[in-house]
Structure 1
Amino acid sequence: MSSEAEEALSREEAFARIRLLRSPNIGPVSYRQLLARFGTAQLALDALPHIGKRGGRQYRAIAPEIIAEEISQVRRAGAKYLFHDQPDYPALLNELESAPPVLTWRGDISLASRPCVAMVGARNASAAAVKLAREFAGALAEEGIVVVSGLARGIDGAAHEGAFPATIGVIASGIDVAYPPQHAELQERIAGEGLLLAEQPPGTEPRGSHFPSRNRIIAGLALGTLVVEAAPKSGSLITARLAGEAGREVMAVPGSPLDARSQGCNQLIREGAVLVQAPEDVVELLSGFDGRPRSTFREAVGVMDYAPVELVEAEPAEIGGLLTTAPVAVDELIRQSGESAAAVQMALLELEISGELVRHAGGRVSLAG
């Protein structure tokens, strides 16, 4: 956190923001909506019991003592907090409706504001693909492009190693937890020479649900995502889909149809990703990127457009009868209800805080199972 950022955010508000985000049923979207409605995190915390009561539940925010211990753990790890409205927060990531409101980091935070490309691929990658990823990453770094990846085995690790020191590692654990364990040395090197980012609180071991969340950060930081080698159903394809939904470039290196590890990349190309064969192809795509990707892999998802004042004044819409356990787009709820975007979002916020709503990728929601 820069000294300018520290001055702009009081210690009390920073504490309240961390507490708000760590409280039950508060996710990135509801966090931002609560801040927009109440102005400060402390006022939002004060209002949570009332909102929960309107949703039919007794609500209690996380204990302050737990947040105080978390802050101590962050300091012991040599890490710092970064909040969504501070100057150092990467602008591209902030464009996501689900952008993490609070990150912890170690290293050179300025890397996140430079042009970035995400490089992802198979954990059990072939030797040829690992070599290619390392060479691509090195060539891209020489062109001034920062390489973002997730520190997994295989392609991720090769991408980080090839790009040093112009590399960002995004982990699914807490900032003080090395995962996978065999990449502990690599993770520490990234924290020392590049940039290490984590969304989860310190001490958190990675769980299955954390990896898609990590993938959205990887895709969100970058102008485009390059998949080097991947199976048809893999986390790499999730990252590519998230990049497409965010309106970023999606690229893939083609492979032999006889190798299952190439089927995911070939599938991406068939569905609209840009075929890439050399680092120069990536540089050409990203250097001229103007927000309109050449890839047609996935159309961008619309973000609800409403001013903070509208959210403050909105009364929650009656949308209970429109929701089921099947995910539906929020804009579809607005169309079918005939209510304003702010009124629908307020209704969803009350349901989420009450534990009755689940948010999904692509701006979709459903009732909790």
Structure 2
Amino acid sequence: MTPRREAARPRLDDAQRLAWLRLIRSENVGPISFRALINRYGGAEAALEALPDLAARGGSKRRIRIAEKAAAEAELARAERLGARFLFQGEADYPPILLATEAAPPVLAIMGDPAVLARPTLAVVGARNASLSGVKLTRQLVAEIGAAGFVIVSGLARGIDAAAHEAAISTGTAGVFAGGLDKPYPKENGPLMRRIVDGGGCLLSEMPFGWEPRAVDFPRRNRIVAALAHGLLVVEAALRSGSLISARLAGEMGRLVFAVPGSPLDPRAGGTNKLLKDGALIVTEGKDVIDALRPLDSRMEPGFAASQGAEGSFLGDGPSEGERGRILEALGTAPAALDDLIAHTGASPAALQLVLLELDLAGRLERHRGGYVSLVF
């Protein structure tokens, strides 16, 4: 299962890296709006200059907060002091499987060796209050799957996540933080995190150093866990759990979803049994996962991501006032598909994307699953 050799991708210089970090740390700039800004303005420096006007055109009542150069420099220095560094989207060491997803983080903080993520990967998630049998089974499955050459990705939580990481330290594992890399959660897993790095694995986060994880940050973390893997295995999960969010996200990304069946009398099996009813692949031994994932080793091609990290040129003029007015009139609180907005308004795709970018930066746009958008009033 040898990773495909890829053409060398362009590397950002120090000034570009600083500008990219400032841009993603600026107010209302997320992965999708970041990519739109880079593709439109040709580089982060130009995008930073454009932010105030874009947010104002989107209806912002105050000046948008732009990350200061000194703050970005301090974050770079803090990473270096902690033995971490940053991966920038499209550069050679950025995980190729993550690059192919729509909302890939433009910048990742990493501690350890990112080369582990160039190998075939499986995400393993499950209950924090895992049963003894669930923990034991997780270790058995991961040991078998890891020995077959797969790297295990998980979220460093208690229970199933921790058991999966522990069983994969010798074969390769990556842990994704919900907060900053200097804010491990839960703190009791600190020694495990150190063993992951020392064992040749890595720890990653899209959040700034110093960021304390909030409830809303865990689903964001889950999307990265799902995106980093060719398939996702759920060992134990209740009917309302973060593991089912991860499974849904994995399915939307086209990943294979696996689940271990459990007793109907155990609430921790409610979610996994529902996944199986909904079409997840049943797993009772590691071979079930290995046989399903082997044919996928050709892996997906990196798709877009700001011209693979290269900074390019300005992409055309903005929408006419007529186009802008029709787009704003068509948007409402009900989610609408982009294709429907284009058909209804007669606006060009480029005009629609720019208006959506302006609204996004003004904090007036909500993005929904499947590419739908709505206005926030």
Further displaced range: 328-337 or 173-182: 328-337
Q: 1:80 maps to what in 2?
A: 85
Further displaced range: 59-68 or 193-202: 59-68
Q: How does 1:340-351 map to 2 (within 5 A)?
A: 340-351=348-359
Q: 2:174 maps to what in 1?
A: 168
Q: Deviations over 1:277-333 (max 9, x none)?
A: 11001001110127999xxxxxxxxx9xx9x98954452653223333344443443
Q: Distance in 1 between matches of 2:165 and 2:180?
A: 19
Distance 1:276 1:71, change over 3 A: same
1:320 paired residue among 317, 325, 328: 328
2:220 paired residue among 210, 213, 221: 213
Q: 2:375 maps to what in 1?
A: 367
Cα deviation, residue 335, structure 1: 4.2
Q: How does 1:21-36 map to 2 (within 5 A)?
A: 21-36=24-39
Q: Distance in 1 between matches of 2:260 and 2:352?
A: 42
Is 1:125 aligned to 2:126, yes or no?
no
Q: Distance in 2 between matches of 1:168 and 1:87?
A: 18
SS in 1 for 2:296: coil
Distance 1:99 1:292, change over 3 A: closer
Q: 1:184 maps to what in 2?
A: 190
Contact 1:220 1:246 in 2 (8 A): yes
Q: 1:300 maps to what in 2?
A: none
The aligned amino acid for 1:55 is G
Further displaced range: 356-365 or 75-84: 356-365
Q: 1:229 maps to what in 2?
A: 236
Q: Distance in 2 between matches of 1:113 and 1:160?
A: 18
SS in 1 for 2:59: coil
2:75 paired residue among 65, 70, 74: 70
SS in 2 for 1:8: coil
Contact 1:31 1:101 in 2 (8 A): yes
Q: How does 1:17-166 map to 2 (within 5 A)?
A: 17-57=20-60, 58-165=63-170, 166=172
Q: 1:199 maps to what in 2?
A: 206
The aligned amino acid for 1:70 is E
Q: Distance in 2 between matches of 1:290 and 1:182?
A: 35
Distance 1:13 1:6, change over 3 A: farther
Q: Distance in 2 between matches of 1:134 and 1:157?
A: 10
Distance 1:97 1:312, change over 3 A: farther
Distance 1:275 1:329, change over 3 A: farther
Distance 1:145 1:319, change over 3 A: same
Q: How does 1:231-246 map to 2 (within 5 A)?
A: 231-246=238-253
Identity %: 48
Instruction: Supply the RMSD in Å over aligned alpha carbons.
Output: 2.6
Q: Distance in 2 between matches of 1:30 and 1:45?
A: 12
The aligned amino acid for 1:339 is A
Q: Distance in 2 between matches of 1:174 and 1:290?
A: 31
Cα deviation, residue 187, structure 1: 1.3
Q: Distance in 2 between matches of 1:239 and 1:291?
A: 23
Distance 1:310 1:360, change over 3 A: farther
Contact 1:248 1:292 in 2 (8 A): no
Distance 1:136 1:85, change over 3 A: same
The aligned amino acid for 1:357 is L
Contact 1:120 1:227 in 2 (8 A): yes
TM-score by length of 1: 0.90
Cα deviation, residue 77, structure 1: 1.3
TM-score by length of 2: 0.88
Cα deviation, residue 170, structure 1: 0.5
Q: Distance in 1 between matches of 2:298 and 2:340?
A: 25
Q: 2:261 maps to what in 1?
A: 254
Q: Deviations over 1:32-59 (max 9, x none)?
A: 0100001110011111122122223333
Aligned length, in residue pairs: 356
Q: Distance in 2 between matches of 1:284 and 1:329?
A: 37
Q: Deviations over 1:139-184 (max 9, x none)?
A: 1110000000000000000000111131000010111111101111
Contact 1:36 1:312 in 2 (8 A): no
Further displaced range: 147-156 or 335-344: 335-344
2:341 paired residue among 330, 333, 349: 333
- Of structures 1 and 2, the one scoring higher in RCO (CA 8 A, sep 6+) is 2
Q: Distance in 1 between matches of 2:221 and 2:127?
A: 16
